[in-house]
Structure 1
């Protein structure tokens, strides 16, 4: 997210209308300005480990990952001034294990960066999150729709937010029996054909029961998983849903963020505006800070779907474009050798024998087609 002060950045795209005329791209100064505002992501956990992630904003033209903020001092303090310091993990994340933060009590976060700049959140009250009643799903025409249901018998929650993690099992296009190492083709000990991949949700999912007589959320549509756009449902799929109780102020923040990031695109959609959080710069009160500090406990629930439970969809495996070719150890002068392909990063799949049973080449393909670890891990998750 790129901000500029506390005003809304409106980018006007100018299109030249004369055919054949010179077009000079318009680049507003906000796009190229060195905006490096602090981003604070995380929450205070009333019944477990609290994790705060610090990074910096970057311009829209930058393709690298946002820079992380390391060597900061992150603390939480109560209204009496008693403080606890988070542990710096060195990767932009800061954790507080067993902080004994009390449900119903008020706390705030303080941050001092390595550059000496100070930031502080408003005081926030830790809320108790109700249990998730159910994570359900329904197979639709071309995919699976997931729902989440919950309730609070005390009618004191009213505002909810959810995040989720998707994990799915998959196989690469080819099973590799060999590996190439220093001009040699050796038998492979590990399996790089069978993997798992995990992705975290990037959308904002919030709901409220504030206008209902009872604090009940029934079958809230959490996410849709397509049966044709990816290989998620090809073998076995799992979704871990995390539920958080929000205050009315936190709900407004996330709802406005959702409108700004997901509901734009036509003249009839809500217009973008500055989303203001509850974290402020002490060093420079005019400096924007991105993020909102919430405080609550967390509940989570995981469900699995096997491919056998779904309709007979033609789910892609993700490797439809892959192809393997045979490369000889001693090829004719006009052909490329197996060793040259190994040096180029291609992975041997299996051996090719000549008429008398000796290996004279290997069937090979690119790593993207053979090594499933390119996009995942071959280490089986503990919950699988």
Structure 2
């Protein structure tokens, strides 16, 4: 064992000399990525993009000027409309529950792709979204059922929104090289995030088609300010076929594996979209068909235990800057030009403005991490 550890340490030290770029990082292939679903009760949206190498940036390039169609098993066909940035929509396709449809794509380069036929499933309503305080935060649960015992497989996504306050209430802003009274509130903001995990459930082992208190999302009471003022969770529910469930379950295992030698090794989940021009070409994505059910809940801070939820502004400090520079400090004008944000005026005994309290933009202007436009549902 000691010999093995010595070899491992030597390899790690040696790796610090010349960085290793594995072939996958600079692979020339860019595979088509298809993201979206066929909606049986509203607009359908499909997003097309391309994979890219890890060092090329965080945002995948969009697939533009493609032709996207939905075809029914009965021979019907309807085109999607390109909205820009790789997004294609079908406003009202009149897709029928229980019927089978497939997606056809032709890129601007003339390459054709198609999905398998998928059955449009009607998603049952969400019975409830509940929450329960725990020692380290708040656990949310979703409950649903299908009285017809026909769904069996479910998937959920969520969107969370929370209200928060900046460290300081700013009355003044710096515009056109002068200080003026602020015209809008930059102390109260809202922020929203989309779920990134994969949440799937099945009732196949039960006598009834019921999902009871499925643990959806956990909100920590010590690592964010989500629970400081008011929090909202919008849950979206989708009914899956058994094939779609298997795809998402495999993808979940593949992305959430800890990577131990004793864990199942990662694999490439096979989607249901295939190349027609080149049947051997890899295509990333899975097209399903269903309706969407939603339910939103709110949580007020006063409903929770007396937790010491952080504001995320604990390290913020203010400084008083004079109008004219001194040996100790730059002037308020110089600091404003450097990006500092004024809070309010500092007055002399006679009521004259002699300086401004200031801090960083993050500490003063809540829009640096969110928006001060109140959501319509708030």
Provide the residue aligned with 2:230 in structure 1. Answer: 236
Contact 2:259–2:265 (8 Å) recurs in 1 = no
Deviations 1:98-139 (A, max 9, x none): 211000111111112222222111111100111111111100
Work out which of the residue numbers 298, 302, 318 in structure 1 matches 2:312. Answer: 318
**Corresponding position: 1:270 with 2:264:** yes
Offset at residue 18 of structure 1 (A): 6.4
Describe how 1:88-107 pairs up with structure 2 within 5 A.
88-107=82-101
Provide the residue aligned with 1:249 in structure 2. Answer: 243
Equivalent-residue separation in structure 2 for 1:234 and 1:18 (angstroms): 47
Deviation larger for 35-44 or 216-225: 35-44
In the TM superposition, structure 1's runs of 4+ consecutive aligned residues that sit over 6 Å from their partners are none
Describe how 1:1-384 pairs up with structure 2 within 5 A.
17=10, 23-384=17-378
Equivalent-residue separation in structure 1 for 2:243 and 2:229 (angstroms): 41
Q: TM-score if structure 2 supplies the norm length?
A: 0.94
Equivalent-residue separation in structure 2 for 1:371 and 1:53 (angstroms): 33
Provide the residue aligned with 1:11 in structure 2. Answer: none
How many residue pairs get aligned? The number is: 371
1:338–1:76 distance in 2 versus 1, CA, 3 Å: same
Deviations 1:199-235 (A, max 9, x none): 0100000010112111111111111111111000000
1:61–1:15 distance in 2 versus 1, CA, 3 Å: farther
Contact 1:74–1:111 (8 Å) recurs in 2 = yes
SS at the partner of 1:210? coil
SS at the partner of 2:18? coil
Structure 2 runs not aligned, ≥5 long: 1-6
Equivalent-residue separation in structure 2 for 1:18 and 1:200 (angstroms): 40
SS at the partner of 1:17? helix
Structure 1 runs not aligned, ≥5 long: 1-13
